[in-house]
Amino acid sequence: MDFAMFIALLAATLQLATPLILGSLTGIWSERSGVVNIAIEGIMLTGAFAGYTVAEQTLDVARWSLGPIPGNLLLGVLAACVAGALLALVHAFWSLKLRTDQIISGTALNILALGLTAYLLRLIYDVGGSPKLPSTLPPLFVWNLTNSHGETISAQFTPIMLLSLVLVVATHLVLFHTPWGLRTLAAGEHPTTVRTLGMSLDAIRYTNLAIGGAIAGLAGAFLTLEQVGQFNENMTAGKGFIALAVMIFGRWKPFYALAAALFFGLADASQVLLQTWGIQIPAEFLEMLPYVLTLVALMGLVGRTRGPAAVGQI
């Protein structure tokens, strides 16, 4: 494999890994503060829907643009983040205020999101499904390379894809190097400490969940506004759950989670690789890979890694 191929594969990997990176960050934000969040899938799906719908509905209104990014898409991304944060706050309210079991609350939200987006999709766009947007988020930069056969290969780096890397760094910095991060870790490890020091445990947890929710919403926007340009029923297809595995695989640490997400992304991208090597494997088999990896990772790791000590405790 030459350099050009390598870069192309890297870009493909990163693209496939983006929802997983963002989703695992969502998990890290909430679990580090002590709240189990298995609603990542549902939040992502909601973000994807809200992002698409707003972008589609404002197509004719928001004719301005910010640099290369059309205004309607920007509004869509914002809407996805807001929708994600709101849904995460519902989870927070159920878990922290109503003391619902956090797994049940998360499951309920996943089911709700699946049903509600499908219903609204039909309500707004009828049976025909969602029309394709005229444009998706354009790449911020394109790297044109020539491979050994003299063909041009271009690796595209799109906004949310790059933003996900920025968010990994930001999450790391906030969690481990700021006062807010210390308080978050304390809330996840030993919540009564936070209370006895006269701080509000709820304030910490609601905020962290909302931030996490916004990030999952962004992952949804990535799917509809950066990749597909359309909304399909259940288009997250389990990515939110794989992100959960990525979080565990990454031991609740942003950089480890990034590595884990890239590993999963590579499993996906390897289709390209295998084809260039001329190895023929049924596509269905390759599509299965991330899910199998998730199972294997969880089997090998659960019980051996330790998450925040007080996760799930109120």
Number of H-type helices and E-type strands within the chain: 11, 4
190 forms part of the interface with another protein (CB under 8 A): yes
- Count residues binding another protein (CB under 8 A): 20
Radius of gyration of the chain (CA): 20
Separation CA 223–CA 293 (nearest Å) = 22
Query: Which residue's CB is nearer to another protein, number 158 or number 208?
Result: 208
Q: CB 311 → another protein: shortest distance, Å? A: 13
Residue from the set 144, 152, 196, 280 that interacts with another protein by CB under 8 A: 196
Give the count of beta carbons closer than 10 Å to the beta carbon of residue 219.
33
Near another protein by CB under 8 A: residue from 98, 166, 197, 299: 197
Q: Which residues contact 6 (CB under 8 A, 6 or more apart)?
A: none
For the CB of residue 108, give the shortest distance to another protein in the complex, in Å.
Answer: 23
Segment lying near another protein (by CB under 8 A), choices 33-41, 74-82, 138-146, 182-190? 182-190
Binding region for another protein (CB under 8 A) out of 20-28, 190-198, 272-280, 288-296:
190-198
Which are the contacts of 99, defined by CB distance < 8 A and separation ≥ 6?
Answer: 314
The answer to the question of residue 195 lying near another protein (CB under 8 A) is yes
Q: Which of 10, 153, 199, 272 binds another protein (CB under 8 A)?
A: 199
253 belongs to the binding site for another protein (CB under 8 A): no
Answer yes or no whether residue 203 interacts with another protein by CB under 8 A.
no
**Kind and range of the H or E run holding 152:** strand 152-157
Work out how close the CB of 198 gets to another protein at its nearest, in angstroms, rounded to a whole number: 3
* Among the residue ranges 19-27, 185-193, 213-221, 278-286, the one whose residues contact another protein (CB under 8 A): 185-193
* Residue whose C-alpha is closest to residue 43's, from 67, 17, 19, 14: 19
The binding track of 161-180 with respect to another protein, each residue x by CB under 8 A or -, is ------------x---xxx-
- The answer to the question of residue 193 lying near another protein (CB under 8 A) is yes
Nearer to another protein by C-beta: 5 or 190? 190
Q: How many CB atoms lie within 10 A of CB 273?
A: 17
What's the gap between Cα 282 and its chain centre?
A: 28
**Which member of 65, 148, 154, 192 binds another protein (CB under 8 A)?**
192
Angle between helices 40-57 and 102-125 (to 10 degrees): 20
Yes or no: say if 26 and 212 are a contact pair by the CB < 8 Å rule: yes
Cα torsion angle, 119, 124, 127, 132, sign: negative
Q: Which amino acid is at 139?
A: P
Contact 39, 88 (CB under 8 A): yes
Q: Residue 203: helix, strand or coil by DSSP?
A: helix
Task: Determine, following the binding rule CB under 8 A, whether residue 142 of this chain makes contact with another protein.
Answer: no
Site for another protein in 273-312 (CB under 8 A): 309
- Cα(259)–Cα(266) distance, rounded to whole angstroms? 10
Window contacting another protein (CB under 8 A); options: 44-52, 71-79, 196-204, 288-296:
196-204
Tokens matching residue 167: 């968010």
In the set 84, 139, 159, 181, which binds another protein (CB under 8 A)? 181
Nearer to another protein, 146 or 200 (CB): 200
In this chain, which of 185, 228, 237, 272 binds another protein, going by CB under 8 A?
185
Contact residues for another protein (CB under 8 A)?
173, 177-179, 181-183, 185-186, 189-190, 192-199, 309
